[in-house]
A and B are shown apart, each in its own frame.
Chain A
Amino acid sequence: GNSVTQMEGPVTLSEEAFLTINCTYTATGYPSLFWYVQYPGEGLQLLLKATKADDKGSNKGFEATYRKETTSFHLEKGSVQVSDSAVYFCALSDGNTGGFKTIFGAGTRLFVKA
Chain B
Amino acid sequence: NAGVTQTPKFQVLKTGQSMTLQCAQDMNHNSMYWYRQDPGMGLRLIYYSASEGTTDKGEVPNGYNVSRLNKREFSLRLESAAPSQTSVYFCASRPDSLGPKAFFGQGTRLTVV
Contacts and interface: CB of A to CB of B under 8 A. Distances in A.
A68 interface: no
A49 B92 CA distance: 17
B31 A46 contact: no
Q: How large is the interface on A (under 10, 10 to 19, 20 to 34, 35 or more residues)?
A: 20 to 34
Given A100-B31, A101-B45, A42 B106 contact: yes
A101 B33 CA distance: 10
A99 B97 CA distance: 5
Contact of B42 (A34, A43, A46, A105): A105
B43 interface: yes
Contacts of A81: none
Contact of A34 (B98, B100, B107): B100
Q: How large is the interface on B (under 10, 10 to 19, 20 to 34, 35 or more residues)?
A: 20 to 34
B9 to A, nearest CB: 9
A43 to B, nearest CB: 3
A101 B90 contact: no
Contacts of B106: 41-43
B29 to A, nearest CB: 13
Contacts of A95: 98
A13 interface: no
B13 interface: no
Nearest to A6: B42
B90 A44 contact: yes
Given A46-B102, A51-B100, A99-B97, A4 B42 contact: yes
Interface of B: 4, 31, 33, 35, 40-45, 48, 50, 56, 58-59, 90, 92, 94, 97-102, 104-107
8 contacts: A43-B90, A44-B90, A46-B101, A95-B98, A98-B98, A99-B94, A100-B56, A100-B97
